[in-house]
Amino acid sequence: MSAISIKKESLKVIMKSKNTVVSKGSAMANTANSVTTSDTVSTKQQPEKFGLKIHNFIKWLLPPVFGVLMMLAVWTLISYQSPNLPGPLKTWHSAVELFSDPFYNNGPNDMGVGWNILNSLKRVALGFGMAAMIGIPIGFIIGRFEFANRMAAPVISLLKPVSPLAWLPIGLLVFKAANPAAIWVIFISAIWPMIINTAVGVSKVPQDYMNVAKVLNLSEWKIFTKILFPFALPYMMTGVRLSIGVAWLVIVAAEMLTGGVGIGFWVWDEWNNLNVEHIIIAIFIVGIVGLLLELMLTQIAKRFSYE
């Protein structure tokens, strides 16, 4: 019984991921689809069309369901082979127990999983927010001015491939505290995609638009607000989405090293307690939260798109 419910839970996740893929594809096609479906509903042969809709829905649902079932099967198989690894059922029971009280507080080393998630999100929000505030303007300047571009190119290509965690000691040294150091690591790893994508967007503004700006004699501010910004916005949002992905990816590793309250530290703590179910749950939590963050930004990006 409960094994079935966990399937449903993970199913939702997969469905969401499918949604994001569709929305990435083209908003236009989506709206066109919804128009046709609403048209078909209003026609007379409703029952038949309804049957068709269910058929299509099942066809659409089947592959992700198979995917999840396969994952669970492999997991179960492995858990039979290796007795230390809990299977899906055991993990599910543990998760139900865990989430029945997510916000308890027994001092800094024993807090509910909800607190851990919120603390990680707070760090990501701070690091990512600062990266956006600094990275996006830099991206605009680099994209707009050739001089700035040439100037930044060596610095960016040198620093971008550095593993995020390599920055942690620098953070610890400068800030002399674990929490700001973790935020610093998020900041430095999230800033590159935003700088680069914004710069690419700005530099890709068609010459036609720039000619329009020249003929109209637009001021630099008008060029920015009326041409560069609207054109680069989709590129910028791609950068933002990549950045939040990286930030969420890095936070687990950073918190494992810095400690404190957070999902990464929680994973490490549960490892020390040898509570493997909780580690697996943490993996799911990280995945689902990452997915939700991405979904949220995709929706925001869609809203800002001029197409």
**CB of 247 within 8 A of CB of 189?**
yes
User: Which residues are near another protein by CB under 8 A?
Assistant: 206, 208-209, 211-212, 214-218, 222, 226-227, 230-231, 306-307
Q: Which CB, 42 or 207, lies closer to another protein?
A: 207
Instruction: Give the separation between CA 172 and CA 177, rounded to whole angstroms.
Output: 6
Min separation Cβ 133 and another protein, Å: 23
Residue 244 burial (C-beta neighbours within 10 Å; 0-12, 13-18, 19+): buried
Residue with tokens 């909780």: 278
Q: Which CB, 227 or 280, lies closer to another protein?
A: 227
Q: Which CB, 163 or 219, lies closer to another protein?
A: 219
Q: Which CB, 230 or 287, lies closer to another protein?
A: 230
Q: Which CB, 56 or 211, lies closer to another protein?
A: 211
Instruction: Give the separation between CA 186 and CA 123, rounded to whole angstroms.
Output: 8
Q: Which CB, 141 or 233, lies closer to another protein?
A: 233
Report CA dihedral (240, 242, 180, 285) to the nearest 10 degrees: 120
Min separation Cβ 132 and another protein, Å: 21
Nearest to 279 by CA among 147, 157, 138, 113: 113
Min separation Cβ 229 and another protein, Å: 9
Min separation Cβ 304 and another protein, Å: 10
SS3 track for 220-237: HHHHHHHHHHHHHHHHHH
Min separation Cβ 235 and another protein, Å: 14
Min separation Cβ 56 and another protein, Å: 29
Residue with tokens 């029971």: 93
